[in-house]
Structure 1
Amino acid sequence: MTCRTVLTRLAAALALAGCAATVAPPPASTVQTPSAWRTATGPHGGTVEKEWWTTFGDPALTALVAKALEHNGDLRIARARVAQYRAQIDATAAAQKPNVFVDSAPTRTRQLAYNGVPYVTNVYQAEFQASYEIDVWGRLAAATDAAVATYQAERANADAVALSIAATVASGYLNLRGLDAQLELTEATLKLREESRDLAKKQFDVGYSSRLEWLQAQAEYQTTAEQVPQLKRSIFEQENALSILTGGNPGPVARGAELAQLDPPPVPADLPSELLRRRPDIARAELNLVAVDANLRATRDQLLPSFKLTAVGGIQNLKLHDFLNAPTALWRLTAAVTAPVYEGGRVQAQTDAVAAQRDQIIFAYESAVRTAFSETDNGIGAIFRLKEQAVQNDARRATAAETLRIAHNRYRNGYASYLEELDAQRTLYNADVGRLQLKTRILVASVDLYRAMGGGWTAP
């Protein structure tokens, strides 16, 4: 091959540098950051606790979340995936480094000479080969950047799983304490219903009250008694669910503070929209976008020429003694320029596919941001409205307690039937149950808000 031929082919290869696949522009973003939340939260200056579950002040809850973050199966899988993608960075980056191979091939051959007489020859050979691709256009670097961004996205995903596990455990524990409080209330109410039933039975036996009042007291006792095993079953199932979340077998769960002693953490004042960047799912969406953008560059540049240097060296001899002491040295140095001339539109189609994938990730990112705005706004509004509802519940309970006091006095003095007092007891019991449920819902809503705010995790 003449020098003119080599220069002609090199010039043709370089001319292909302007023939990279075309990339469609990304869609315009439609996300608009709200200036404020729909529910007012007060003046500026709020912060988010990193380990927000500790602000409930319950050591049992803190220990339960810590155990889940260490032993939960889903979280361990997510962390193993992080290690997998970390190794893939090294595998991808290896393409930017020289490759060296060693090949040793001693050969013994029996063949025929020109006169038909067979003879045996030995060839002892060892060869070293090194190759290196010069990343002129940055295609290999873009592939490494994509691997790094994908690894960081998996780290963010592991943080998202950890946040979800911590919030699920906290919500489950608070619901468990709410069920415990309802069971305690129901068992105490059952004792009162038993006393009322026995009193109604005595009064019926002596003719002081009707059989209807006694049967009504009996029915009220049975209704309350029916709720006890139902609550115990719910507690049993909740304990098993928490045990599985913490990486253990189904079993009992240690308790800490009573429901009445638990207070929701204060809501950070005037939460800025930038706080949502703490959410690991948004960080993952951003990093996925970085990864697909780098992958798009690497895919597009497949049409550009590649430059490779190959060096081959070795030693060879026909005799083992000479091979070890005085072998013949052989070497070869090659510089190659490779560029596709016609590939049927494959690279352009692959580029279009990656560009479409990029658009999907952009849309997914926008959806994640809108979901974050919605969940945070819902969390703030839920706490605000539940507290308003609790105020009304307190007023209802006070009215029910006063109603029961009056009904009891009227019945004791003979001005009303026992059915009136039973109705007042039922109303007060429902108000007490409603109070416990509202307290639990406020606590769980606080957990949901901290989950929506990212719970203190930040993007890597």
Structure 2
Amino acid sequence: MTFRYKHSILIGLAILTLSACVTQKYERPQVKNDNLYRDQNTTDTATIADLPWKSLFTDTTLQSLIQQGINENLDLKQAIERIKIAEATLQQSRAALFPSLQGDLSVTDTKQSQAALNFPAGVNINLETQTYKAQLSTSWEADIWGKLSSAKRGAYATLLQSDAAKRAVQTQLIANIANTYYSLLALDKQLAITQQTIKIRQTDVETMKALKEGAIVNGAAVVQSEANLYAAQVTLPDLKRSIKETENALSILLARGPGSINRTSLDQQVPFNNLQTGVSAQLLQNRPDVIAAELGFRAAFENTNVAKTYFYPALTLTASGGLSSLQLKDFFSNSVFYNLVGGLTQPIFAKGQNKARLKTAQAQQQQAFYTFQQTLLTGGQEVSNALYAYQTAEEKEITRTKQVASLTKAVDFTKELLRYSSSTNYTDVLTSEQSLLSAQLSSINDRLQKLQSIVNLYRALGGGWK
């Protein structure tokens, strides 16, 4: 008995050793994950990616819109359904490790042909029989080479990948809602400035007409002032159209029909200024698409393990048993039957299917590795781009403020000179007014760039899902 016990242990250890030679344990691949942020050599691990999105966006109206998007967005709902599919696949993979069990209850009526049996004359045999049968059958494949375990781990990695993909959809959704909201506020501001400019230019037209009557300017100045007015008025339809289209785009993100969007103003926005990035290696645990890419590689790794096991024999155990009788009255007496089968199936010639399966799995694993590496590098690029966009916007804001102040004075001075000096003509006023409007609209774009660069940096670092 002791010898048999030891013998069983040795067989088990041998099988485990062989299994370890066939399938391998997953380890994270070596990828470049340091110094991915250009000109950022910090060792501080504090990052805005750890902030809840409500801490980054303090506008309560925007907070409400983001929450609506998280609750209702259709892309996010699709991602949740993909998680459910992955969960079902995982349950199926887990169930494959256990024996299957089926029940069968049947009644069979059989009648033989007397002519076909060729019995001698005078022999009278009942040619019709009924068979009553109730049985249970089971089948189990021993996971000697780790095929079923690898399939289960691959399914689990796919589930985690689906969950990470859902978080990536959420971070992108939050960024899209915030960026579209800020674009809408910027358009509102541009519309307000343009409308204010139109009022000023309407006054200019009246002023030029009065100066012409006083022989201070000629008719050309009046016509130029009118043309200047029309140049501002003609931009209104496009601005209003852009506002409507942006509202519609934001409505789609919120999974509702196109319509007006409740909002505040651009002047009320307070940009978050403590833009900590942490170190680039943190993208591996913060950025959902990077996490999903690694899990995709892990699933492909386990698929390769599964493909390797097809070259080795499969051990399958089947059993069936129950009750069978030709007479219903004898069904529970002397009618027990059973059947036990254990078999090894060794692939010998499979038309190259096993080799092709392994080669395909290995190529897909390598593709998944490149995708993982590319996603990580892209993450570093997006962080760097967002930081440069923020820094550029800050620099432009300072200079643009000075430009607008100078141009405002230039407009006032030229208008005054036009009243009292014949050396000044309306072309000078026209040029200064057009430059002022252009600078004012550009200052709004600078502000928008700053706000959106913060949003993009937050998303690039992996913020918005925690």
TM-score, L = length of structure 2 = 0.88
SS at match of 1:105: strand
Residue 263 (str. 1) matches residue 253 (str. 2): no
SS of the residue corresponding to residue 48 of structure 1 reads: helix
1:76 match: 77
Report if the CA contact (8 A) 2:48-2:277 is conserved: no
How many Å separate the matches in 2 of 1:62 and 1:392?
A: 32
Equivalent residue, structure 2, for 1:251? 259
Q: CA deviation at 1:36?
A: 5.5
Structure 1 CA distance for aligned equivalents of residues 41 and 219 of structure 2: 57
Within a 5 Å distance, the mapping from 1:69-148 to structure 2 comes to: 69-111=70-112, 112=114, 114-115=119-120, 119-148=127-156
1:412 aligned partner: 419
Kept in 2: contact 1:183–1:231 (CA 8 A):
yes
Report whether the alignment pairs 1:329 with 2:336.
Answer: yes
- Seen in structure 2, the aligned counterparts of structure 1 residues 306 and 74 have a Cα distance that, compared at 3 Å, is same
Q: Distance in 1 between matches of 2:273 and 2:107?
A: 78
Per-residue CA shift, 1:397-431, capped at 9, x if unaligned? Answer: 12112212322322233352333223222222221
- 2-structure distance, mates of 1:151, 1:441: 37
- 214-223 vs 386-395, which moves further: 386-395
Amino acid at match of 2:310: Q
- Counterpart AA for 1:71: E
Instruction: Report what 1:357 is aligned to.
Output: 364
Q: Which residue pairs with 2:380 in the alignment?
A: 373
Give distance in 2, aligned partners of 1:41 and 1:120. Answer: 90
Asked if the contact 1:106–1:125 (Cα under 8 Å) also holds between the matched residues in 2, the reply is yes
Q: Which amino acid aligns with 1:96?
A: L
**Partner of residue 451, structure 1:** 459
Deviations 1:88-125 (A, max 9, x none): 11112211011011112211111136347562111111
Equivalent residues, number: 443
What do the CA deviations read for 1:302-358 (whole angstroms, capped 9, x no partner)? 1222222222111111112222x4351111222222222332432122111101111
How far 1:380 sits from its partner (Å)? 0.7
CA distance in 2: counterparts of 1:279 and 1:273, whole angstroms: 10
State the AA in 1 paired with 2:363.
A
Looking at structure 2, the residues matched to 55 and 276 of structure 1 have their Cα atoms a distance apart, in angstroms, of: 19
Specify the SS of the correspondent of 2:103: strand
Partners of 1:275 and 1:266 lie apart in 2 by 21
Distance 1:178 1:145 in 2: 49
Structure 2 Cα separation of the partners of residues 43 and 154 of structure 1: 31
Q: Which amino acid letter does the alignment assign opposite residue 326 of structure 1? A: S
Q: Which residue of 2 aligns with 1:401?
A: 408
SS in structure 1 at match of 2:378: helix
Check if 1:442 corresponds to 2:443: no
Superposed CA offset, 1:15-48 (max 9, x none): xx69x8899xx9x856352176415789774443
Q: Any conservation in 2 of the 1:104–1:126 contact (CA below 8 Å)?
A: yes
Per mean C-alpha deviation after superposition, the further-off stretch among 305-314 and 350-359 is 305-314
Please give the alpha-carbon distance, in whole angstroms, between the structure 2 residues aligned to 1:213 and 1:409: 15
Report the Cα distance in structure 1 between the residues aligned to 2:311 and 2:41, rounded to whole angstroms: 56
Matching of residues 167-246 of structure 1 within 5 Å? 167-246=175-254
List runs of 5+ in structure 2 lacking aligned partners.
Answer: 1-10
Question: Quick check: 401-410 or 171-180, which moved more?
Answer: 401-410
Q: Per the alignment, in what secondary structure is the counterpart of residue 335 of structure 1?
A: strand
CA shift, 1:53, in A, is 5.5
Q: Distance in 2 between matches of 1:270 and 1:110?
A: 83
Contact in 2 for aligned 1:21/1:303 (Cα 8 Å): no
Secondary structure of the residue aligned to 1:313 is strand
1:387 aligns with 2:388: no
Tell me how far apart the structure 1 counterparts of residues 128 and 318 of structure 2 sit (CA, whole Å).
33
The structure-2 alpha-carbon separation of the partners of 1:317 and 1:299, relative to structure 1 and needing over 3 Å to count, comes to same
Distance 1:329-1:443 versus aligned 2 partners, 3 A rule = same
Once residues 400 and 310 of structure 2 are traced to their aligned partners in structure 1, the CA distance between those partners, rounded to angstroms, is: 68
Change (3 A) 1:160 1:46: closer
User: 2 CA distance for matches of 1:53 and 1:390?
Assistant: 26
Task: Name which of 427, 434, 437 aligns with 1:426.
Answer: 434
Whole-angstrom distance in 2 between the partners of 1:41 and 1:439: 27
Q: Write the distance in 2 (CA, Å) between the matches of 1:317 and 1:39.
A: 83
Q: Which runs of 5+ in 1 are unaligned?
A: 1-9
In structure 2, the residue matched to 1:156 is 164
Q: Do the aligned partners of residues 410 and 208 (structure 1) sit closer, same or farther apart at CA in structure 2, a change above 3 Å counting?
A: closer
Counterparts of 1:35 and 1:419, CA distance in 2: 52
Deviates more, 1:371-380 or 1:394-403: 394-403
Equivalent residue number for residue 294 of structure 2: 286
Cα distance in 1 for partners of 2:303, 2:99 equals: 22
State the secondary structure of the residue aligned to 2:128. strand
Partner residue of 2:4?
none
Displacement of 1:153 after TM fit?
0.6
Task: Give the AA of the match of 2:356.
Answer: A
Structure 2: how far apart are the matches of 1:35 and 1:383? 18
- Quick check: 2:171–2:459 contact (8 Å CA) kept in 1? yes
| Number of the residue aligned with 2:60 | 59
Q: Residues 349, 73 of structure 1: CA spacing in aligned structure 2 closer, same or farther, 3 A cutoff? A: same
Over 3 Å counting, the alpha-carbon distance change for 1:157 and 1:35 in structure 2 is closer
TM-score, with normalisation over the residues of structure 1? 0.89
Would the alpha carbon gap of residues 64 and 376 (structure 1) be closer, same or farther in structure 2, given more than 3 Å must change? same
